[in-house]
């Protein structure tokens, strides 16, 4: 099981989301999302993430380099895993539920509290509005798959309370995994940070989460 320790950076909440990348790159360890868990899906774009937290939010900065890019979905709550998608799943240690936060490359989000892959409680529009996102892809409009020979980035700020976390009573760690996928892209792929030992692609597997520790 992989473990990463992420820093507390108090001033992040006062910085424009599009400018926090520098802080994360300087102070956070790199998280390589590079496990190819299923040999029938060998495509492996280069994907890395950096994470930190402030009094209010968990910040994740993703960097991706691949052959193509796709963002067909614009509405929060839609099937962004079909696009060029980056994901963060987490649960509190000993918890009966977990949360998934999935983002396509223009920042469209699908998130829920889950008992399983099929049993979930989706976020309200008000909760989605609290999840801040900043993408390097402009304009921020949906598009079908196209060649893309450059690097793209996505930075998100997820409120701690949406995950059941409280800065005044932070746990030492949570269980989590980071993913990159693209179910309906030209080269379907299912990469993870912590490896997954299952017979077919499935990210909804808390037993295969790693550990994210808080400084």
Look up residue 10 and give its two tokens.
């108090």
- Residue-wise pLDDT for 162-193, tens only, equals 999 999 999 999 999 999 999 999 999 999 99
**Domains of the chain, CATH where assigned:** 3-214 (2.60.40.1190)
Q: What is the pLDDT of residue 22?
A: 96
The residue among 14, 9, 10 whose CA lies nearest residue 27 is 9
Q: What is the pLDDT of residue 162?
A: 98
Q: What is the pLDDT of residue 9?
A: 97
Look up residue 28 and give its two tokens.
């956070």
Q: Backbone phi, then psi, for 102, in 5-degree steps?
A: -120, 135
Q: How far is residue 69's CA from residue 67's CA, in Å, rounded to a whole number?
A: 7
Low-confidence ranges of the chain (pLDDT < 50): none
Using the 8-state DSSP alphabet, how is residue 206 labeled? G
Q: How far is residue 78's CA from residue 123's CA, in Å, rounded to a whole number?
A: 12
The dihedral sign for the CA sequence 166, 171, 176, 178? positive
């Amino acid at each position: 099981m992989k473990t990463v320790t992420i820093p507390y950076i108090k001033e992040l909440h006062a910085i424009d989301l599009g400018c926090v990348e520098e802080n994360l790159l300087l102070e956070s360890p790199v998280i390589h999302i590079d496990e190819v868990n299923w040999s029938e899906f060998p495509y492996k774009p280069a994907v890395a993430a950096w994470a930190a937290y402030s009094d209010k939010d968990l910040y994740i900065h993703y960097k991706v380099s691949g052959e193509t890019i796709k963002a067909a979905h614009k509405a929060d709550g839609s099937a962004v895993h079909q696009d060029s998608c980056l994901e963060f799943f987490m649960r509190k240690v000993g918890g009966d539920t977990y949360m998934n936060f999935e983002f396509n490359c223009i920042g469209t989000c699908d998130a829920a509290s889950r008992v399983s892959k099929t049993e979930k409680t989706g976020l309200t529009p008000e909760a989605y509005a609290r999840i801040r996102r900043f993408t390097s892809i402009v304009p921020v409009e949906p598009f079908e798959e196209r060649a893309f020979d450059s690097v793209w980035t996505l930075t998100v700020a997820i409120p701690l309370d949406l995950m059941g976390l409280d800065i005044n009573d932070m746990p030492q760690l949570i269980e989590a995994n980071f993913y990159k996928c693209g179910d309906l892209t030209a080269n379907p792929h299912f990469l993870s940070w912590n490896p997954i030992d299952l017979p077919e692609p499935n990210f909804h597997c808390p037993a295969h989460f790693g550990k994210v520790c808080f400084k």
